[in-house]
Amino acid sequence: EACRVGVRDVTIDSSSGVLAINGTPIKILGVNRHEHDDVKGWAVDCESMVKDLMLIKQNNFNAVRASHYPNQSQWYELCDIIGVYVCDEANLETHGTLPMGRIAMEG
């Protein structure tokens, strides 16, 4: 499935540390969001998504982390239209795991 992406160029100035996206200096101010509605539960519709995005923008945030799993495709399209950066996550749960080299073997 294809999705529009507004990011074309990302740079970090080596002397100042300033992040620029598409040539514009930016400070990322973000929130976490679970795809969940307080009344409808996991049945998140477009109206609920727009409501969330309006709250994000009204509170001067410009980024959102899609917590723990990919969201509906419509969410990403709305973020692009409204101008909210997205930090997406893969559907991969790794809590409580240890790297192979740290597993103790009884012997």
- Is the Cβ–Cβ distance between 62 and 84 less than 8 Å? yes
Helices marked H in the chain: 46-58, 73-82
Q: Where are the domains of the chain?
A: 10-91
What is this structure's pTM?
0.76
Element (H, E) at 23: none
Backbone dihedral angles phi then psi of residue 82, each to the nearest 5 degrees: -85, -20
Distance CA 10, CA 42 (A): 34
pLDDT tens, residue order, the chain (107 aa): 777 777 889 999 999 999 999 999 999 999 999 988 888 888 899 999 999 999 999 999 999 998 877 888 899 999 999 999 999 887 676 666 666 665 555 55
Q: Estimate to the nearest angstrom the gap between the alpha carbon of 105 and the chain centroid.
A: 39
